[in-house]
Amino acid sequence: MKLPEISTFIARWSLLGSLPPVAWLITHDCENQILALLDRLGAGYRRNGNCAIHESAFVEDGAVLKGPIIIGEGSFVAAGAYLRGGVYLGDNCIVGPSCEVKSSILLAGSKLAHFNFVGDSLIGERVNIEAGAIIANYRNELDGVDIKIRYADSVIETRVNKFGALVGDDCKIGANAVIAPGAILHPHTHVPRLGLIDHFAYD
């Protein structure tokens, strides 16, 4: 069975160091993965408990940060944003008003406009997610069964019941689009407004 190699989707993934090689294993254990990254951070970060915010980043009053969290150089988190469950924002990321990010990694230059949810996902560089679009992480209609993904003519059994998406570099996700649990988006994918991406392998 062929598993998606993260570096095929996110070119500079190796800059984060020795994380597990499978996307859903990272997100399933995201709090511990972010704690490990905290131990390797360089200078220039302000720390408060298990939250580290680069001195050039800006977090507006009213944002809720539940660590472990890393917010990189030049990034911006707006009022009303909610980050929890292990979150990493690379350099120059934007999390807009009333966005929720849970157990996810966003790399440099990626942006959530506003009213977005991103759960249990790996987001590459320069990804733009327009207002209202969500990356869902749980199969509510199937009572939370383990995520099974159709990929490269095979079905992958992830053995986790929460996984959002692996989103490659330079993807654009239109307003009010839904990325269903277990999606894999190749670099430069454009999802139209109101679009649905669903790679789940139904029985």
**Domain locations in the chain as residue ranges:** 6-197
Task: Specify the pLDDT at position 1.
Answer: 64
Q: pLDDT at residue 156 above 80?
A: yes
CATH of domain 6-197: 2.160.10.10
Q: pLDDT at residue 130 above 80?
A: yes
Arithmetic mean of pLDDT over the chain: 96
Residue 158 CA to residue 110 CA, distance in Å, equals 26
Model confidence pLDDT, tens digit, residues 48-67: 999 999 999 999 999 999 98
- 190 catalytic residue (yes or no): no
Q: Global pTM?
A: 0.96
The residue annotated as part of the active site, out of 28, 114, 188, 199, is 114
Residue 176 CA to residue 161 CA, distance in Å, equals 24
Confidence of residue 203 (pLDDT cuts 50, 70, 90): low
Residue 107: φ, ψ to 5°: -95, 180
Model confidence pLDDT, tens digit, residues 166-199: 999 999 999 999 999 999 999 999 999 999 999 9
Helices (H), 51-202: none
